[in-house]
Structure formats: structure tokens, C-alpha cells
Structure 1
Amino acid sequence: MEFDYVIIGAGSAGCVLANRLSADPSLNVGLIEFGGSDQSIFIKMPTALSIPMNMDRFNWGFESVEEPGLNGRRMDCPRGKVLGGSSSINGMVYVRGHACDFEEWREAGASGWGYADVLPYFKKAESWMSGEDTYRGGSGPVKVNNGNNMKLNPLYEAFIKAGNEAGYPITGDYNGFQQEGFGPMHMTVDGGVRASTAKAYLDPVKHRTNLTIMTDMMAEKVILENGVARGIELTSKDGKSETIKVRKEVILAAGSIGSPTLLQRSGVGDAASLSAAGVEPVLDLPGVGQNLQDHLEVYFQYKCKEPLTLNSRLGLVSKGMIGTQWMLFKSGLGATNHFESCGFIRSRKGLKWPDVQYHFLPAAMRYDGRAAFEGHGYQVHVGPNKPSSRGSVSITSPKAAQKPRIQFNYLTTDQDVEDWRNVIRLTREILNQPALDRYRGDEIQPGLSITSDEQIDQWVRENVESAYHPSCTCKMGDRDDTLAVVDSNCSVRGLQNLRVVDSSIFPTIPNGNLNAPTIMVAEKAADHILGKGLLSPIDAPYWIDEDWENRQRPREPKNAMM
């Protein structure tokens, strides 16, 4: 079998590429995915988000080694193993990141990836519920909205008001002119159904005769001949081997764990590490698998004095009623991820743009969907989004079936530890504003006894969880960057006909969830691959607090609790 382009991974980036490349009928495109169909009610129904994330059928189930900064804890690292990849099992939260995140990319050596360059591709990808404007797209494949528009629970508005009372601005669109502040949160939901990239990009083009989708196939390694990618070696789930030849390019879109480890199994990476894993080095490229970054978060949980939270809807009868309404009408509590309000703030003065993100949930529960305690409660997910810690991912065997070694090195820098102390104190202050007085019961966690630096450090190390945003392991950069794996065209340095297009090529992790920027990267990369003229940059202004060097927030809180 032979194709012009072979795409490895049918996830957030791979589905985009399959759509855009196969739009040219003269090209023959193959899309390879180890997972299977996404036609599951647990994937389609937004409120069921915790279920596919915890199913072996849909999740690779990666895990870190013992993390030295977390008292030796091993951390889960879920990745999608299904059409749509992680966009089929994630929380559907749509955050592009701050404009300055992409200016940071450009300054780090990713030429042509500044905010003005990427904004038109964000717009191209999305269909925003309010239509197109300077910042938002109105006719793209991915539908973006605010779920039930915060109408089903007064706690959403109370949280936003509390943020404002704490001295932070209100923003009507954090993906537009102003990220910093509190406001409604956006989600990738289309008519009450999860808008994964499989639904948005792949389903409409599955009929194309020049697009072949192969599921249940594991990519073992890229076939490299004299520095040129010529094909890919595959293994089916029943153990049969197959070789796919390529006329133009192999494109890795297997994510921040899958893409670097596939390069390593192909002999591309740190030569000494490859030899130790039993792989003959082909190209000594030390940055492969390095620069690993992720977001951590904790749940700030309170009891609620009024019986209006989702904790009363977790029983079988209530779940059945929610499911029935969703099945019949695609509406109600089944049609939302329940994260309908949010916030973005700076953790300290001297930061130009936000580094902390809040997801508010009118319930107190865990990621597995179970209640955190008896009775009513609410919680906010929060964490610093610009860590200075760096980790790595590396193979331990030439076989793809052998899971890699993943070490994030969470909280191994003094700045990351200090950022968490700031986050805990700032969050407690926000959640103790007057807007939440009528609802706020006891603080369940961290608990009011957690106040000193030492107590905060210990509690965070014991309770922090990954937000499931691994990235940056095939860093994009210029020739002077020894860790750069791909150039600004997403081509692997030192090789021909081989590209990486997914969140692994981010130079640094953005301030927000990663699905939106991953889709943007694939949209822009498709134009690079096809040799089309890039979309014209959009030089749109964006909001920065004019006194960011001297103040952590624009004004003093109404009810400071330090």
C-alpha cells in the first residue's frame, strides 16, 4: 500500500490534517490510528466526560515514574486511543491561550508563529456561537459555545462576581480581546454533542475516495533511507505486520507522548539513550522527548448551604433522567461539561499576562465522577499554567507496545513551589468574597488549617493532579536551539519528508487547555505542507493591564482575606 501522505494519529491534529490534505483530489492520504471508533454514547454526551477518560478502550493509560517533587507519587497521563484522540475524551474546554503565549513562541525561535500569524487559523477552525468578528471565526468546523449559558445554576454568576469583588476584571470573551479576568467558559459542543475533531473534521469527509482511514494499527517506526522518510512500519492488534510506503511525506500527529517515542523507535533522538533502549541511532537529535511540560491543578472544595448543586443529581434515577433528556432532545445537564464559568489571573506582579486558570464547577466531585463528600458542594479547579519545571519522555524498548518512561519533574523549581503558594492564598481570597456568602459552607479542602508555606507545600504535593496537558516534547525552534526538533515548517531537522504536527511542537505551554491551540497548529501546518500561501496575519490588539509590572491585579479587593 502506498500514499502521498501518511498521517500517524487520528487525534486533535491528525483529523484536521486528514480533512485539509484530502481536500485536494489529486492527493492520496492515509490516516493511521491504533484506537477504534468514537461512536459511543459516553464520548458523544458531554456530561459523561469522566467515563471515556477512565476506559482502557479509549485511553492509552500512560503513567509517570515516581515524581521527586511530589513525594514519589506516580501521576496518571491519559491520552486518547480512539478516532478524535484526546479530543474524544477530554473535558471539551476551549481555550486558545493568551496572545502573549504565541509571542513567546515567536521569540523562542518559532518564526511565523506569533499571535498575528496564528489568529487567522484559530478563526478558520471555529464556528463561534455569536458569529465572526475580529477575533472569532463564524464558519469553521469546530462549534464553540457556552453550554447552557450559565442559566441552570446561580453559582456560575456568583463565582464571576466573586472574582470581580476580589479586584479582577470581568471579560466577556477570554478568547478574544481580553483573556485576563472572570467570565463565561467556552466548550466544544455542537448541538448538545461533543465536538471532537473526529466529528468536526473527519466525519464530513470519510466518504472521500482519496482518504483511507486505518484503525487498530500501531505505528512501530518510520522507515528512513539516507535521511529520507519512505514509509511506516505497522503492527495490527492481532500481531500482523504491514509496511506502508509514502511518496511525499510521513506526518506524525500522535501527540506529545506518541510522536517523540515514535521518532525514538525510528532511531531519531539522543544517540546514547537510543542505544541503551536497543535502537540503532539514525540521527542524533537530543531534543526529542525533552522539554516536557504539563499543567497541574487542585480542587478547592466547599460545602454549599443551599441545595442547588449537581451533587443531588449523581444518583441513578437522576442520571437516567438527564440521559433520557439528552437522548431525546440533546439538551439539559447532559449537553454540557458543567464548566460554564472561569477565570484567568496573574499570580504575582511583574507578569505581563495571566499564568493561573480557574474552572468553576457547581458540584464537589472527582475526575472519576464520584461525589467528594455527602451533601451539596462546589469546587474550583485551579493551578499555575506557566511552569518552569521540565521533564522528558523516552522509550525503554524498540517495541511500540512497551509503554515509555515519562517523568514530568513537577514542582522541582523554587519558582513553581512559590507559584503554588500564591495560587492557594489568592484562590481562598476569591472564594471568600461577599458574592459567595449565601452559598459558602465549610472549606473542605485544602481546609482552613492549611495556611503556612510548609503546610501549603505539603498539601499541594499530596493532592495535586495533572490537568492532562502534556506538551512540548518535539519543540519547534531555530537552528541555534539545541533542543529544537522541528523547524517553523514543522519539518524534523536533519531529515526529509518527515514532519511533526501536534502539541509536542509547542515551544512552551500556553495559559489554557491545549485542544484549541493543537487544532490551530494543524490548520496552519496543513497550509505549510500543501505549499499554499499562508493566511494573512491579523494584527489585532489585545488587553494587558497597564500597571502589570507593579500590581498583581487592577484594583484592591472588597473583602481581602490574606
Structure 2
Amino acid sequence: MQGDWDHIIVGAGSSGCVLAARLAQAGRRVLLLEAGGDDRRLFVQMPLGYGKLFMDPAVNWNYAAQPDPGLLGNRDHWPRGRLLGGSSSINAMVWIRGHPGDYDDWATAGATGWGWSDVLPAFRALEDNQAGADEWRGAGGPLHVAACRDGLHPLTRAFLTAAGQAGLAQNADFNGATMAGVGTYQQTVAGGRRNSTARAFLRPALRRHRGLKVVTGAMVTRVLIRDGRAVGVDYCRAGQTDQAVAGEVILSGGAINTPQLLMLSGIGPGAHLHAMGLPVLVDNPNVGAHLSDHQGINYTWRATIPSLNDLLRPWWGKLRVGIEWLALRRGVLARSINHAGGFFRTDPGRDRPNMQLYFQAFSTLLPRAGERPVLTPDPFSGFSIGLSNCRPLSRGRIELASADPFSHPAITANAFSRTEDVAEMLAAVKMLRHIAAQPAMRPLIAEELRPGPDVQDDDALIHDVRARSGTVYHPCCTARMGGDPARSVLDAALHVRGVQGLRVCDASAFPSLPGGNINAAAILMGWRGADMVLGRA
């Protein structure tokens, strides 16, 4: 039995590291339990090394969704970080807060204190933005955000020009006054290294605060609930079982692990728990429900000029960029491959952008088995323009596949189960071709490789969307907060309804899916969640 703690936090990911650091800074005694291991690995620290982590079981939960009718029966791969920093240690590092209206939607749903006017000061406080402080950005905070405006490939510059010719405005800051338009992406990179929450928040806190303890390799199997109150957790480490007790338990395992642990602890849909042979302490059908995620697809072209394929494919190119990064912490390995992109509306009548663009000056039609081929692109010059939907209406679910806590849960994504989602994707992929047809891009294209020139009519385009789309790794909302107890798991202060002393602080708590990459919102959850715990909000 561990000694008593003020707080036990389950999961040292994007939210958990931030939450632990801020609670420890406030003088709280915090035990942070992480099922995975250390983040001090070469391909974790190397920004472009995330391709090597895509299926690495040493750092990745390697989830697989159920076969999905909306994806023509495909079973999608769902990577999630299983190490210090969580998915912030294996993601593509793009820093997008989301549209201000997304957070106002949270407040409208009953998440009081999470509207845009509430969260903007928190974003500014946690940031150290390379572009400098202004009305929107912050400087001097613990998380350095790189501007990434230099060293653009000629194909990337051509994409930005072509997007402008296609009618999209140039935007120097998607996290500023407006979200719409195209430009370069800010990234969580510092000094040419990945700037995960483990690096930016947890390690400084461990150096400064003796009241913070981190235990890795600790798989939490159950929240201990006595007389309606969470008093601690059971966990396994190195084949041994143990317990830890605390005044409060906070789950920060993410959109998959958190609802799984709630259900294993008797909190969830009663009939489902009963079928799994588990006790029902709190019957709440919202646990695991409302699963929301962005779906994305790439269009790919063969280029008439060299792309990053020509640098990253041959051994001598890998050697060159490797030496450059190891010696100087710069070059193509020192940032994500998504150098540029943006946001647009498929219908001008929408109040905010509903599609996100990604430009990659490389192509990966011929992947290496078992690896996301960021470091092994095609043996020809090629590039891709990708997109993902910002606010799909389709909803999935996380359920237990077994009462065994070491078994992966069942992930039902239900991608494109709403006709509205299919219709907006159809309009969006037509924009990709529209951009590629502009004068700035046309001379740089030898041929369209995917989906190919034979795919033209609407039915064929929709079939291609279903056949080749997949998650862009932004699951959330599976233990969401809100004002209506009949439609939520948490109140606005992140308390689990029906149990005292238990909160959730991670992306599962989002009331709805923000537009764009969600790591910034998950970090915000840890920052703002600490204020809730400390009574400052």
C-alpha cells in the first residue's frame, strides 16, 4: 500500500503531465501513474521520427477499431501514446487551438467556465510562442511553440500560392484573429526536438517539487470506490499488484483508456457492465458514448521537380539529414512533415471552417510493412495534399470487449454514418483538385496518382473517400462534461457524476469535437483542469 496522496492521476499524457505539474506547483502531493515507459528515446525526441513510432508497441497502445461499414469494412489503426507525454510524444506536433466558437459551444452545452473568453487567457499563459505575444498568442509560458516559417520546400510555397489562386486567403496564424485560409503550421518543437508535455511540464516539475512522484509501467486496473467515494486505485507493475490511496483520483488516460477504466470500475452503461460480469455502481450510458473523431484522406501526385522523397528515400539522404539533426538540431528531421495547410468552408454559409488542409512535400503510396512511412517515402518525386473534416456528425462508441483490464476495448468509430459527413467530404475533395489545377501547381504535376484520373463522378469519389479515409487520431468526448446529467458523464468542474472524489481530465471530457488538431485542447484541459481542482476557476 502506497502512502496517502492528495491526488492520484492516472495517465501521464497530454493532459495528465500538465495537471500533475500544476498541482505539484501548488503544493499538492501528487502520484502520477503511467502504464507506459520513459519518453527519452531517439525517435520520440526527433520530430520527424514519429513515423517510426506509429506501430511501435514499446510506446504505442496500437489500438484497432472494429471493421467499419462507413470505411467499406476496413479496420482502422488507432495509435495512442503509451509513454510519458502520451500522444504528445508520438503525434505530428501541429499546434491548433480550435475555433473560438468550438469553446463557446462547450459553454452552451453546460460546460460553464470553458467558453472562449475563459480559455483564451489559459492558452496565452501556457504558451511561449516563437512568433511573440499579442492579443491571441502568449510568450514566456512553459510550452514553446515554434513558428516553422523558414526552410519551406519549393512545392510547399507553390501550394500556398495555388491555394490563394483557388480563392483561399493567406493566414499567418490559425490561432489568431481568424482560422480560415492557408499558411504554415505552428508546431510543438523546441530547439529542434519534440516538445511534449513530458518535456515542457513534467520534467521541470519533477526537478522543483518533491511532492510529485511518477511511477511508469503502472497499469491501473480499477478505481477503488467505497461508500460512493473514490479512495484510490489498484494497479499492476512488473507482474505485481498494488494499491494507492488518495483524497482524489483523476483519470487522464484519454478518450479510449478513460472510459474503459470507468467501466471496469463499475461506472458506465448498466446492461453492458452486467453482460461483462461487472458490478454496476453508477449506471450511466454516456460512458464510452459520443465518440467523435476527424476522418482524413490524401490526394497524391507525381511531381516534375524533386520532392522530399528524393532526399529521404536514399541511404545517403537519410545519412545527411540524420547528421544535420544530430549535430545541429535542424533540417527536415527537426519538424513535422505537415509544413503547411489551412482551413476552409465547403459552403460559404457556414459560420466557421469545416475542413482542414495538410500539405506534404513527399508521398507514401508504397509503405513499408508495420511502419508509417514518413522516413521511407516513394522511389519517385511526389507530394500529397490531405484534408480532414472538422466537425463530423457521425458518432461512435467505446465498449469493453472483456472484463480483463489488459484486453483492448472495442472501438466502434461509425465513420461517415451520417449523410451530411459524406456530402461535405465530397465537396472537400473537389477542392483538392481545384488547388492542384491552379497555375502555381499545374507545371509541377506529372500525373495524379491517387485517386487517379479515372475517378471522376460523385459516386466514384464517394467510394474512394470510404475506401481510403481513416482517423487522423483525434478521438474525444467519450466521458464528456455538460450541464445535462442525462447526456454527460461529468459536470463542468470535471467531477464524475454519481461518485465523490473522482474526476476526469483529458480529451474524453470534451463536450464536442474541436475543429483541427486536438493536442492543444488536451493540454488546455490539463491546465484549466488544475484551476478547477484548486478552486481557482
Q: TM-score range by the shorter chain?
A: over 0.9
Letter in 2 for 1:9: G
Q: Structure 1 residues 136 and 81 mapped into 2: Cα distance closer, same or farther (>3 Å)?
A: same
Aligned match of 2:243: 243
Aligned match of 1:537: none
Aligned match of 2:5: 3
Aligned match of 2:505: 501
Q: Deviations over 1:451-480 (max 9, x none)?
A: 21210121111111210111110111013x
Aligned match of 2:483: 478
Q: Deviations over 1:98-147 (max 9, x none)?
A: 11111111222212211111111111221100221110010111111133
Letter in 1 for 2:171: T
Aligned: 1:46 with 2:47: yes
Aligned match of 2:457: 452
Aligned match of 2:515: 511
Letter in 1 for 2:244: I
Q: Deviations over 1:405-464 (max 9, x none)?
A: 110100111111111111111111112111112312201111122121210121111111
Aligned match of 2:442: 437
Q: Distance in 1 between matches of 2:202 and 2:314?
A: 35
Aligned match of 1:417: 422
Q: How does 1:270-285 map to 2 (within 5 A)?
A: 270-285=269-284
Aligned match of 1:345: 344
Asked if 1 retains the 8 angstrom alpha-carbon contact of 2:296 and 2:389, the reply is: yes
Secondary structure of 2:318 counterpart: helix
Aligned match of 2:174: 174
Q: Deviations over 1:190-237 (max 9, x none)?
A: 00000000000011122321111000010101111121110001011x
Q: Distance in 2 between matches of 1:348 and 1:448?
A: 25
Aligned match of 2:317: 318
Q: Distance in 2 between matches of 1:453 and 1:152?
A: 34
Q: Deviations over 1:323-347 (max 9, x none)?
A: 1111111111121112221110011
Q: Distance in 1 between matches of 2:323 and 2:377?
A: 25
Q: Report the CA distance between 1:311 and its aligned residue.
A: 3.6
Q: Deviations over 1:220-262 (max 9, x none)?
A: 01111121110001011x3211010112x10000000011110
- The size of the alignment, in residue pairs, is 528
Q: Distance in 2 between matches of 1:37 and 1:371?
A: 26
Letter in 2 for 1:186: Q
Asked if 1 retains the 8 angstrom alpha-carbon contact of 2:313 and 2:377, the reply is: no
Q: Distance in 1 between matches of 2:391 and 2:62?
A: 25
Aligned match of 1:19: 21
Aligned match of 1:307: 306
Q: Report the CA distance between 1:373 and its aligned residue.
A: 3.9
Secondary structure of 1:435 counterpart: coil
Aligned match of 2:115: 114
Aligned match of 1:546: none
Secondary structure of 1:441 counterpart: strand
The answer to which of 433-442 and 512-521 deviates more is: 433-442
Letter in 2 for 1:225: R
Q: Report the CA distance between 1:300 and its aligned residue.
A: 1.0
Asked if 2 retains the 8 angstrom alpha-carbon contact of 1:394 and 1:405, the reply is: yes
Letter in 2 for 1:110: A
Asked if 1 retains the 8 angstrom alpha-carbon contact of 2:307 and 2:383, the reply is: no
Aligned match of 1:467: 472
Secondary structure of 1:299 counterpart: strand
TM-score, scaled relative to structure 1: 0.92
Letter in 2 for 1:214: V
Asked if 2 retains the 8 angstrom alpha-carbon contact of 1:54 and 1:368, the reply is: no
Aligned: 1:191 with 2:191: yes
Aligned residues with identical type, % of pairs: 35
Q: How does 1:291-440 map to 2 (within 5 A)?
A: 291-365=290-364, 367-369=372-374, 373-440=378-445
Letter in 2 for 1:5: H
Asked if 2 retains the 8 angstrom alpha-carbon contact of 1:288 and 1:483, the reply is: no
Letter in 1 for 2:332: L
Secondary structure of 1:303 counterpart: strand
Secondary structure of 1:292 counterpart: coil
Secondary structure of 1:106 counterpart: helix
Aligned match of 1:488: 492
Q: How does 1:544-555 map to 2 (within 5 A)?
A: none
Asked if 1 retains the 8 angstrom alpha-carbon contact of 2:312 and 2:377, the reply is: no
Secondary structure of 1:524 counterpart: helix
Q: Report the CA distance between 1:380 and its aligned residue.
A: 1.4
Q: Deviations over 1:142-195 (max 9, x none)?
A: 111133x24241222211111111112111111111110011111100000000
Q: What runs of 5+ residues in structure 2 fail to find an aligned partner?
A: none
Q: Structure 1 residues 318 and 372 mapped into 2: Cα distance closer, same or farther (>3 Å)?
A: closer
Q: Distance in 2 between matches of 1:531 and 1:221?
A: 27
Q: Distance in 1 between matches of 2:325 and 2:172?
A: 28
Aligned match of 1:97: 98
Letter in 1 for 2:103: F
RMSD: 1.3
Asked if 2 retains the 8 angstrom alpha-carbon contact of 1:12 and 1:515, the reply is: yes
Q: Distance in 2 between matches of 1:205 and 1:94?
A: 23
Secondary structure of 2:440 counterpart: helix
